[in-house]
Amino acid sequence: MIFLSSKWSLGTMSFLQSSLLILLVVSTTSWCQTKASDGTQFPWNNMRLPEHIIPVHYDLMIHANLTTLTFKGTTAVDIIASQATDAIILHSHHLQISKATLKKGAGETQSEEPLRVLEHPSHEQIALLALKPLVVGLLYTVVIDYAGNLSESFHGFYKSTYKTKEGEVRILASTQFEPTAARMAFPCFDEPAFKASFSIKIRREPRHLAISNMPLVKSVTVAEGLIEDHFDVTVKMSTYLVAFIVSDFKSISKMTKSGVKVSVYAVPDKINQADYALDAAVTLLEFYEDYFSIPYPLPKQDLAAIPDFQSGAMENWGLTTYRESSLLFDAEKSSASSKLGITMIVSHELAHQWFGNLVTMEWWNDLWLNEGFAKFMEFVSVSVTHPELKVEDIFLGKCFDAMEVDALNSSHPVSTPVENPAQIREMFDEVSYEKGSCILNMLRDYLGADAFKSGIVHYLQKYSYKNTKNEDLWNSMASICPTDSTQGMEGFCSRGQHSSSSSHWKQEGLDVKAMMNTWTLQKGFPLITITVRGRNVHMKQEHYMKGSAGTPETGYLWHVPLTFITSKSDSAHRFLLKTKTDVLILPEEVEWIKFNVGMNGYYIVHYEDDGWDSLTSLLKGTHTAISSNDRASLINNAFQLVSIGKLPIEKALNLTLYLKHEMEIMPVFQGLNELIPMYKLMEKRDMNEVETQFKAFLIRLLQGLIDTQTWTDEGSISERMLRAQLLLLACVRKYQPCVQRAERHFREWKEAHGNLSLPSDVTMAVFAVGAQTPEGWDFLYNKYQSSLSSTEKNQIEFALCVSQNKEKLQWLLDQSFKGEGIKTQEFPSILTTVGRNPVGYPLAWQFLRENWNKLIAKFGLGSSSIAHMVAGTTNQFSTRARLEEVKGFFSSLKENGSQLRCVQQTIETIEENIRWMDKNFDRIRVWLQNEHLELL
């Protein structure tokens, strides 16, 4: 699954997601008594299901009525008991069960008996009680008849709607089961380790089409106006991957080289936007079959664009589902970042067909085995299949987003115990996705691409159709290494002296498991401090953590695969730092040394003495002597060090002055990611004078680059994304040459009734300027209603949110939350963007508080959407009064939100903001008045 963090990166801090986890380990088959909903004793008291009933196969029949918005179903599940028991415990949530029976044997000897049903709503479980204990090892079939309402949220079997060009509202029904919502569509053993096969039948009206994980085998008319579609039996898989859709979608199809039929489904008015995703999916599926050396095991792969969708996409086996903006590409209006985003998301979901679907984590504590890998494979696959997208330009920036969260005390290890559904939902965060992918990238860089690939192919082949734990992956990596090998990839499987110009480099044979446990079983990441004394380089590691001086030392140590280049050698040297301190000896003295080459390592570096000065001089003189990723990492690390008092703010700001000569996307974006949040903090306090000076400084710093931007769609994807962000920044910051040009474009576009084709790279800037007048705002809102382009709608949405008119902003929040005119799926982005608006942030914070219970009902406690909204409305506060307000509100929620990790994170972030402003604000004011700026 792809969760959406910020749709618009400009001016946003990293979105902090997830929450405090309470560990309740379930191991025993405990029969402590719990009351069922009717007052009877419920025979099981754990959140996790007992392990002694194993599902083998499900026969599902689902009949959805899209007029009454209800559905009926029958689930027949074949089970085997591994110990005698008269209670069958499984999951069911918001389903009305009318009948349950137990069948034994086959043919004429088959017997049938009724089962008594007990419900335990708070655990989302039911108990089916048999008259006598089940016989161990015998195959039984449990048959359950039930009914339910189509969900009004975005999970389970839920209702979605769309408007045709003619204005007719049409209804469809789709599923989103990950992590714990299959139980909302059919009673089941809804845990990832209970893998089974599924035979699915869907009843529908003739005007509708049904699709599911497998191809259609036959359609039978069961009554007048009612057709039953029978789908082929699935492979063995987890319940959260089951999917079915009843709709009037249209589709287009192609075959892969190996004969897999790939189709894209969308609403009829948008099927003409499906071609790009279809071609990308075919190319990527062929790449993965080749890379993993395992054929895709199903005969087809459908990609469906759903009009209402909470996250970005979902990897249901054979039927991946997407937000329309994550799949549909309008060749005329879609932006460069949209093309990149669609390619990455499709590659992510298709990677899951192996990582996640074929091999699945045993429990949600190891979700990163699914999501970290799929995120990492986006980079591996797209860099090969679509080299023109330059995915490497943005992939590693995601590691900084993860570090923003991972630097807090409220972070969590990549692999973390979880139990209830809210805790499970909280695992879908930056740590599972981005940090997971970053540490895999670091391992690949260390082992070498070929050795790494051999390890993961071995892992996939060994555990196909099975479930795994963290250690299974590391054991697979280690097993490709011959025990006495003296050869292999650099730094891998070698013993004795390593051929390197670093005389200190010694390799004792690599213990992948011991190394990677330091990255997955403890939270956070290391700060490496480098002190150069002649030819000796002294290295020290410590846990980097933001917070007051009173934050306790964790004493964590990592096995850090360090890399470095120097003024005398631009080839990367390697050193595995396992201890708190160590020394390496260079062949000769150097003017500068830069660690973490290409940003491949998940750590930050501090250079003692004049180390930072020499690197700042390097950037000022010949910044291209090091790669753009290295330049971006220096910018990031400098400001991270300011936060913990290791580097004065003046030195970090001085380092950014070189950006007036920078042309590459990564360092410029990283500069914006560090500098914009500074004035965003000032905007929420009465600091107008310094805030205005700081904004002017930022525009002056980038003015040369802004002025060279053409108002076209020319250039590479990276150049186009850079242009879109720079022009938007310039216009929002009221840089007059930009504003005047945008006003002219907007006037012409408006006069052409919005039918003039604007270059998509400049559209966001043009709309943001146009929305500043009431007439322009209204015109944009009306255009939004008729637009069929996701990119155009997102651009208009952003423009509406940056209005300085409070009434318009309040109306926008109300309408999008109700789903009137703007779909509710857009609400988290709208709330967050209004929350970043200097005029709108009090409205956003108030809206969150007043509507909290409704938000939880719609988006789900612990979901990334809720985390996104909490962070987006509060984490730029920097006063003690606001801190108390935030603490007071969330503590009043009790179990309805006070325990969420995103709440701990935002409180920590506000505390950090207060400390940061107290320490640095006056120094920034003085620095801005200083002669530095004459250099600009």
Catalytic (active-site) positions:
349
End-to-end Cα distance, the chain: 45
Query: Residue 462, SS3?
Result: helix
Rounded to whole angstroms, the Cα distance separating 79 from 141 reads: 6
- What 3-state class would DSSP assign to 578? coil
Nearest partner of 599 among 401, 370, 388, 367, judged by Cα: 401
The residue among 185, 155, 148 whose CA lies nearest residue 71 is 148
226 phi and psi angles, rounded to 5 deg: -140, 120
Q: What separation in angstroms does the CA of 152 have from each of 101, 492, 921?
A: 30, 53, 47
The pair of three-digit structure tokens given for residue 183, joined into one six-digit string: 């139980």
AA letter at 447: L
DSSP structure string for 345-356 = HHHHHHHHTTBT
Q: What is the phi/psi pair of residue 197, to 5°?
A: -100, 160
Extract the tokens encoding 809. Answer: 């902003």
Element (H, E) at 539: strand 536-543
Q: What tokens were used for 180?
A: 């714990």
The residues pairing with 463 across neighbouring beta strands, listed in sequence order, are: none
Q: Map tokens 């093309």 to a residue.
A: 339
* CA neighbor of 209 nearest in space, from 157, 242, 248: 248
Give the angle 112-114-116 at the CA atoms, nearest 5°: 150
Pick from 691, 669, 665, 668: nearest CA to 678: 691
Residue 894: partners with Cβ closer than 8 Å, 6 or more residues away: none
* Residues 798/764, Cβ–Cβ less than 8 Å: yes
Nearest Cα residue to 8 out of 764, 694, 814:
764
Give the DSSP H or E segment for 75: strand 70-81
Contact 510/579 with Cβ under 8 angstroms? no
Measured at the CA of 805, the angle between CA 801 and CA 807, to 5 degrees, comes to 95
> Pick from 169, 130, 175, 111: which is nearest to 148 by CA?
175
